[in-house]
Amino acid sequence: MYKVFVNEKKLLLSKNPENLEKTVGYENPTTLEIALDLLQNTSTSELNVHGENLERIWEEFNLLFRKIEAAGGIVNNASQEILFIKRLGKWDLPKGKMEKGESREESAIREIEEETGLTNVVLKDFINTTYHIYIERNGDRVLKYTHWFEMFFDGEDTSKPQTEEGITEVAWKNCAQITAEVFPNTFKNIKLILSDFNENKFK
């Protein structure tokens, strides 16, 4: 099953039909174009495309886009808080595009250190990959893969926002603050990865 966000709307690609607002059986790549059109140009907020050969559907879907890979992390500290950045008025997790020749792990650490000012962040486990779509100024359709890792920080807090990247704040948030402050003002793929990370804490 693949969850892709299109302007904060959910496209779910699956083998079996799911109970979403709209459900469409996969016939050919045109099915995917129709699904994208419905999400981008109508009030439809969630749509499921289903078919027995899920990997073939995913391959066909990828052919519709230019692919960009990014990496980032959920950084914990000894107080069980998570590190967030605020960019364009929304809370987000530190992440960024992978550079040529970098591994996912190297990219995740570099982006966190650049965006938050922390050093000596310890990489732990891979969590999951999220997907979202956007349109570039030249009209190119981009499918962005973001690879997420769990990380730990237990040093001197040197955090400061990378203002040249539009980041205005860096803050540690506990579970209650995440529920009350972050979730009402973040992106759906951030909610998704936080839930994947610890589904018992974040609903």
Element at 144 (helix H, strand E)? strand 141-152
> Of 48, 64, 80, which marks where a domain is finished?
64
In this structure, are 74 and 60 located in the same domain? Answer: no
Residues found in the chain: 203
Task: List, for residues 60-98, the tens digit of each pLDDT value.
Answer: 999 999 999 999 999 999 999 999 999 989 999 999 999
Cα 172 to Cα 137: distance, rounded to the nearest angstrom: 34
Q: Is 56 helix (H, G, I), strand (E, B) or coil?
A: helix
Please indicate whether residue 123 or residue 199 has the higher confidence score (pLDDT). Answer: 123
The number of domains in the chain is: 2
Cα 47 to Cα 14: distance, rounded to the nearest angstrom: 11
User: Residue 109: what pLDDT?
Assistant: 95
Buried b (16+ CB within 10 A) or exposed e, 144-179: bbbbbbbbebeeeeebebbeeeebeebbbbeeebbe
In this structure, are 54 and 102 located in the same domain? Answer: no
- Average pLDDT of the chain? 92
Q: What is the mean pLDDT of residues 34-62?
A: 95
In this structure, are 58 and 89 located in the same domain? Answer: no
In this structure, are 150 and 175 located in the same domain? Answer: yes
In this structure, are 20 and 75 located in the same domain? Answer: no
In this structure, are 108 and 185 located in the same domain? Answer: yes
pTM of the model: 0.87
User: Residue 165: what pLDDT?
Assistant: 87
Please determine, for residue 52, whether its predicted confidence score (pLDDT) is greater than 70.
yes
Q: How many other CB atoms are there within 10 angstroms of residue 140's CB atom?
A: 10
Cα 142 to Cα 68: distance, rounded to the nearest angstrom: 7
In this structure, are 21 and 113 located in the same domain? Answer: no
Element at 24 (helix H, strand E)? strand 22-25
In this structure, are 115 and 41 located in the same domain? Answer: no
What is the domain-level CATH number for residue 107? 3.90.79.10
In this structure, are 42 and 111 located in the same domain? Answer: no
Provide the pLDDT confidence category of residue 203 given band limits of 50, 70 and 90: very low
In this structure, are 186 and 91 located in the same domain? Answer: yes
Domain encompassing residue 54: 2-64
Pairing mode, strands 66-76 and 95-97? antiparallel
Provide the pLDDT confidence category of residue 200 given band limits of 50, 70 and 90: very low
Which residues are CB-neighbours of 171 under 8 A, at least 6 positions away?
Answer: 83, 84, 86
Cα 192 to Cα 137: distance, rounded to the nearest angstrom: 27
DSSP calls for 98-129: PPTT--HHHHHHHHHHHHH---SPEEEEEEEE
Task: List, for residues 139-165, the tens digit of each pLDDT value.
Answer: 889 999 999 999 999 988 888 999 988
In this structure, are 122 and 143 located in the same domain? Answer: yes
Percent of the chain with pLDDT over 90: 78
